[in-house]
Amino acid sequence: MAKKIGVLTGGGDCPGLNPVIRAVVRKALNEGFEVIGIKNGWKGLVQNFTQKLDLKSTSGILPKGGTILGTSRTNPYENNELLKKAKQNFKKLKLTALVAIGGEDTLGVAAKFSKDGFPVIGIPKTIDNDVPLTDSTFGFDTAVNIATEAIDRLHTTAESHHRVMVVEVMGRHAGWIAVDAAIAGGGDYALIPEIPIKIDELIDSIKKRKKRGKHFSIIVVAEGAKLSSGKTILQSEELDAFGHVKLGGIGQRLAAMIEEKTGFETRVTVLGHLLRGGSPSAYDRILGTKFGVKAVELIMQGKSGYMVSLQGNKIGAVKIEKILGKLRTVTKEYYAIAEEFFG
């Protein structure tokens, strides 16, 4: 029987997905596999919507953002009908194994498929950098670079107008993008989901800066940051197929509070999906490439239900089950580094 590897990308896109696809294809072809791309995440498996992946179809994709395979947040385990179709198609495609590239949701489905007897290897992906048991995910570095550049740009306009600038960044329930962008961009305060917002401390810090002649402040806030009530601000109550709410809006809320409590003119910039767009950084291209090669090696070793992971400077693998239901979030010790520069 022909050796055949399937590849899919699920969940939110992020810079680095195409380098991973390219690496899986190159390594797989070198090892004598055929490779098939499954379009639009798990949805493509349900619909049997595929495309052949070879040297030609993956040529020139290394610097491209997004994913040439398309993505979706479809959960085949949402109902029996979807699951039946996905399993039938898995068999029909005669896959030796499937490489599922995604965040916790996509990986969760991968683990279930593996348990149900369908060989799957997971590759962690997310700009949020919140997947446990991997030191980093590709996409995060690019997102932090974009946020840092935005903060650099906001500095000059904030200083000219003597304004407070609130910068809202993505990250879901983890504050990695916010805290790292604040460190790299010289943010004057960073608010993250892991530590409830202490509005009085924030206001004091902005006022202190003013007293020492700094008539502007840059406040970085993660979309999932919680008000002292413990509440996150939502764009809508609607849930996706994996039960996630849409976060967003904390920047506006915070800006209004700051203006009211300080009397300083305040503006908001929501970076949103800009953080996920465009070309991946060199770091993300390299990490993605290493992950892709490792995934094919694991398939060649007959492994299933594993996720490739970065451990120190080595690429290893962990059982997907070990990462499910957990999030890798910012520690107090890590946040303390950014705190040194507040105010």
> Which residues of the shown chain bind ligand F6P in the complex (CB under 6 A)?
12, 103, 126-128, 170-172, 223, 247, 276
Q: Of 13, 54, 116, 128, which residue is the catalytic one?
A: 128
Vertex 332, ends 288 and 107: CA angle to 5°?
35
- Residue 220 CB, nearest distance to ligand F6P (Å)? 14
- Residue 318 CB, nearest distance to ligand F6P (Å)? 20
- Residue 170 CB, nearest distance to ligand F6P (Å)? 3
- Residue 313 CB, nearest distance to ligand F6P (Å)? 25
Which helix (H) or strand (E) element contains residue 307? strand 306-311
Q: Which DSSP string do the residues of 160-185 spell out, in sequence order? A: HHT-EEEEEE--TT--HHHHHHHHHH
Phi, psi (rounded to 5 degrees) for 201? -65, -40
- Residue 28 CB, nearest distance to ligand F6P (Å)? 27
Q: Which is nearer to ligand F6P, 172 or 209 (CB)?
A: 172
- Residue 11 CB, nearest distance to ligand F6P (Å)? 7
The Cα 141–Cα 39 span in angstroms is: 26
C-beta separation of 319 from 298 below 8 A: no
C-beta separation of 167 from 218 below 8 A: yes
The residue nearest ligand F6P at its CB is 170
Q: Which is nearer to ligand F6P, 42 or 342 (CB)?
A: 42
Q: Measure Cα distances from 60 to 18, 66, 68, 139 in Å.
A: 10, 13, 11, 19
Q: Which is nearer to ligand F6P, 98 or 170 (CB)?
A: 170
204 included as an active-site residue: no
Q: Measure Cα distances from 58 to 26, 71, 95, 125 in Å.
A: 9, 17, 20, 19
Query: Tokens 């329930």 belong to which residue?
Result: 173
Q: Which is nearer to ligand F6P, 6 or 65 (CB)?
A: 65
Phi, psi (rounded to 5 degrees) for 232? -100, 155
Q: Which is nearer to ligand F6P, 37 or 171 (CB)?
A: 171
C-beta separation of 154 from 269 below 8 A: yes
Q: Which is nearer to ligand F6P, 112 or 172 (CB)?
A: 172
SS3 (DSSP) at 190: strand
Catalytic site residues?
128
